[in-house]
Structure 1
Amino acid sequence: MGAIKLDDISTKAPGNLEKDKVKQQNLELAEELNELQNLLYAESKHSVLVIIQGMDASGKDGAIRKVFGNLNPQGVRVESYKAPTARELSHDFLWRIHRDTPAKGMIQVFNRSQYEDVLITRVHKMIDDETAVKRMKAINDFENLLKEHNNTSILKFYLHISKEEQAKRLQERLDDKTKQWKYNEADFTEAKLWKLYMKAYEDCFHTCNKIPWTIVPSDNNWYKEHIIATTLRDTLKSLKMRYPGLKKE
């Protein structure tokens, strides 16, 4: 795969798509995913790890709610990663991640992930480039471990929004009473570091690509949800799962 340049990738849905038709397809995908997730849980031979990364206001929370909200909560877990605690910092950087990986039969969603430790830490000079490269190698080994030794399918999504759309959404957190609870002054500070984040992300895409990334145009929420749901559906179908039938006594 060639180097990914985010400036060369549109953040909008293709112009030939009809919003209402895609939203109807999303409803149909939700029903299909519900059945496939039930099958995954019943067979209990595979697991799925969904990693969702993106800039502030790229719609990570909304995507998780829309795509996974109607699935059986017994078979889906969501973990959000914020600044590490003192206890977490006393361990290696993957310690808090590994303890949340999915058991067989489960779908685990990471809202942010191990990649934060080579993104925000790099942008803010908490680690140097040499350490970042070592960490990305460790991430590759970690993901391969899950894939090879726990039958874990890993889906990595980057929610790709434009700088203009981010600014609009951050402003809504100031103006809209139903969204003010999301307001964080630090988000506006981080937005000023856009170019540094884009470079750090592109380095991740290049170095940690043994399990490929899906760059999701995310200015249109309905299209973002469609891409994630379709990719998850196709992955689950590819596992060729079967219900186990009656248990032997």
Structure 2
Amino acid sequence: MKNIPVESLKVTESIKLNELPTFIDLECSEKKKDKVLNKYREALSDHQDIMYAHDKYSVLICLQGMDTAGKDSLIREVFKEFNPRGVVIESFKTPSSHELEHDYLWRHYIALPERGKYTVFNRTHYENVLVTRVHPEYILNENIPGINSTDDITPEFWENRFDSIINFEKHIQQNGIIILKFFLHLSKKEQGARLLRRLDKPKHNWKFSPGDLKERSHWEDYQKYYEEAINRTSKSGAPWYIIPADNKETARVLVAKTILEEVSKYTDIAYPELSESIKKDIPMYKEQLKQEN
């Protein structure tokens, strides 16, 4: 299998999405990809078990991408070996009336992972600088003071929102949350093919909505705002990774590899050791248990 360095996927300088590949050939069979993915996910599961015992860090995985980019299936395949208690999936859709009674980051903050666990955001707090930029009228539902019409939404408004997101991520990172953000970079051609498959296969018809085509008509706007959001918010403590997503199996391998390599850098994560007082009495505890049996 072709080696793709994780650093080559990380956004460390300004990028242009239309210059980045949506497909990478790993030069191996699908069977080989699945074998490698299985190795990564087993290693991730083991590491999460250690992290749970260590009880100081947690991991936030942020997944963004256009419709049909493969977020759901990636979550299913990458995290399938995890202890179900070790990973929580949060899918953020249109804010509810209750959520709209709070600031836009509130529903994301209360969904953050507990120490020792993973949380995957399937769509994230970045929807607040993506969908709302394509459809600024949605901002009016937030009842923000001074925003009475879309004319009140200035460039400064978006800059302030980016600053809030950066500060939010900096705060949670400083408190032990490892943040990894992935943009599943899909081509418009491949999205069209996947939407057609939803229509061609009756068992996938339920996934299709006419709204998918409406959003597809805004493709260029979304690419523009994704690019700006990624460039503005990819920081050392909360980096973005651009994952070529035209092949779902390849995307899964690259995401799993990236997560494993990045969390493995935290060399202080280890099983806690027993106190010396308990260690010296282990023979006694063993003998006590043997006598009970």
| SS of equivalent to 1:86 | coil
Give the counterpart of 1:244 among 251, 255, 272: 272
| AA matched with 1:140 | I
User: What amino acid does structure 2 have at the position aligned with 1:170?
Assistant: L
| Distance in 2 between residues matched to 1:45 and 1:87, nearest whole Å | 32
Q: In structure 2, what is the Cα distance between the partners aligned to 1:17 and 1:3?
A: 31
TM-score (norm 2): 0.81
Q: Mind listing any 5+ residue stretches in structure 2 that lack a counterpart?
A: 1-11, 140-152, 279-293
Task: Give, in angstroms, the shift of residue 242 of structure 1.
Answer: 1.1
Q: Which amino acid aligns with 1:144?
A: K
Q: Deviations over 1:203-232 (max 9, x none)?
A: 101111222210000011111001110111
Matched, 1:76 2:93: no
Q: Which has the larger radius of gyration?
A: 2
Q: CA deviation at 1:125?
A: 2.2
Determine what percentage of the aligned residue pairs are the same residue.
39
Unaligned runs of at least 5 residues, structure 1: none
Pairwise CA RMSD of aligned residues? 1.6
For the residue of structure 2 that corresponds to 1:238, the secondary structure is: coil
TM-score, structure 1 as length reference? 0.95
CA contact (8 A) 2:41 2:80 kept: no
User: Which residue identity does 1:244 align to in structure 2?
Assistant: P
Residue identity matched to 1:233 = L
- Indicate the SS of the match to 2:264: helix
Secondary structure in 2 matching 1:214: strand
Match of 2:221 in 1: 196
The equivalent of 2:18 in structure 1 is: 7
Residue equivalent to 1:214: 241
3-state DSSP class of the match of 1:158?
strand
> Is residue 165 of structure 2 the alignment partner of residue 139 of structure 1?
yes
CA distance in 2, matches of 1:15, 1:228: 14
* Partners of 2:26 and 2:46 in 1: CA distance: 31
**For residue 110 of structure 1, what is the amino acid of its counterpart?**
F
How many aligned residue pairs are there? 248
The SS at the match of 1:100 is coil
Contact 2:182/2:240 (<8 A) preserved = yes
**Which 10-residue stretch deviates more, 153-162 or 131-140?**
131-140
